[in-house]
Structure 1
Amino acid sequence: MLDATLPDAQPEAHPEGPGVVSEQPPVARVVHRTAERWRLRVPARKRDLPYFIGLYEALRAQPEIHEVTINPVTGSLLVWFAPADAAALPDALTRDGLLQLADRPEESAAAHAFHVSVNDTRILVFLIILALSAYQLSKKQFLAPALTLSLYLIDLVAGLKLERDAAARAEQAAGCLDEQVAEGAAERAAE
């Protein structure tokens, strides 16, 4: 799926010119990954539509890659694959020589694991505060300790809800953008 159709988007100046592959391919960073999807950024080729179209076509031809979405305006791409192909993905991405990976994906995974562990810690804190609040209430200490723990608990729950709502809004906005791009591509194809 092509995701870049801004009429006023002009390629930034590249030493080799837009769409031209130099001796050294541009560096791509893995900025987010899940079991079935990687998001990569290629900042050196930001706004270079010919480069990203060539990259899209080359990656779609790779057997390990199921789907590719490009966004030249932001210099990013999404790559979907089967979890069984995750180990072969770095080779598939660099096979045609159109990009090179900046760091090993395992290093990016370690950074992602940090964020997961922070959320796990929040859940653990939530359970501890909930247990302490129940304990204080069982001792009929309603005012100071139980009230304080309850306020902490409410604050924690509200923060988790706000984060979940923000993630849902971001996902919805991304879906609306994909629909707009698809409609624009259909209109151009009809012309």
Structure 2
Amino acid sequence: MIEALVVHNIPGRIRLKIDSKKGNKSFFDKVMDSLVGIKEIQKIEINPTTGSIIIYSNESSDSIIRLMKEQKLFHIVEKNISTRRIHGSFKGAYNEIDKKIKTLTAGELNLADAAFLGLLGMGIYQIQRGNFTAPAWYTAFWYAMNVFLKSTDKS
């Protein structure tokens, strides 16, 4: 049976990738014809060139995947899609570094303070080098000010 990989799965939208059928328009037309009649599916987008199918529905992702399996058009493979977002990864790293800086400075500085001082220092360094025309020094000042203002809002 043909393998269809779930590559993107968010509420209301599932994207399947069928690499073995890339460029096979007749296969994707057959899939479209088979799925159009399913009441739970609101909209289907196929792209034979990339081998992808996007299915829109108000049903849960699990329900749609179950319906797709019942159609037996292809074997659905669900890769382990991480729900952890980039923001969460950065936030975790940020908090770790923040904690280390607080420990090293006995609570006098946090990461925002260190970033402010670092950016301020970069700006001063650029000015000392005579680099007035390059945006680096005033960009550093701008970032330093924003970091400082955001960190003082929470205090």
Matched, 1:86 2:89: no
Whether the 8 Å CA contact 1:37–1:81 is kept in 2: the answer is yes
SS of residue paired to 1:95: helix
Identity of aligned residues (%): 20
Aligned residues: 114
Match of 2:30 in 1: 54
CA shift for structure 1 position 126 = 5.6
**Normalising by structure 1, what TM-score?**
0.49
SS at the partner of 2:90?
A: helix
SS of corresponding position for 2:73: coil
* TM-fit CA distance, 1:146: 4.1
Give runs of ≥4 in structure 1 deviating > 6 Å: 149-152
Per-residue deviation, residues 116-152 of structure 1 (Å, max 9, x unmatched): 1x312324556886xx7xx649xxxx9x774127789
Residue in structure 2 matched with residue 45 of structure 1 by the alignment: 21
Q: Is the 8 A contact 1:136 1:145 kept in 2?
A: no
Question: Is the contact made by 2:15 and 2:53 (CA closer than 8 Å) also made in structure 1?
Answer: yes
C-alpha distance after superposition, 1:19-45 (max 9, x if no partner): xxxxx3x10000111111011101111
TM-score normalised by length of structure 2 = 0.59
Amino acid at match of 2:35: L
Aligned to 1:148: 118
**Cα RMSD after superposing both structures:** 3.4
What is the aligned partner in structure 1 of residue 50 from structure 2? 74
Structure 1 residues without counterparts, runs of 5 or longer: 1-23, 158-191
| Greater fraction strand | 2
Q: Structure 1 residues 145 and 90, CA, compared in 2 at 3 Å: closer, same or farther?
A: closer
* Distance verdict in 2 for CA 1:124–1:74, change over 3 Å: same
Query: Does the 8 A contact of 1:64 with 1:85 survive in 2?
Result: no
* Higher helix residue share: 1
Residues 29, 102 of structure 1: 8 Å contact kept: yes
- Structure 2 alignment gaps of length 5 or more: 103-107, 123-139, 147-155
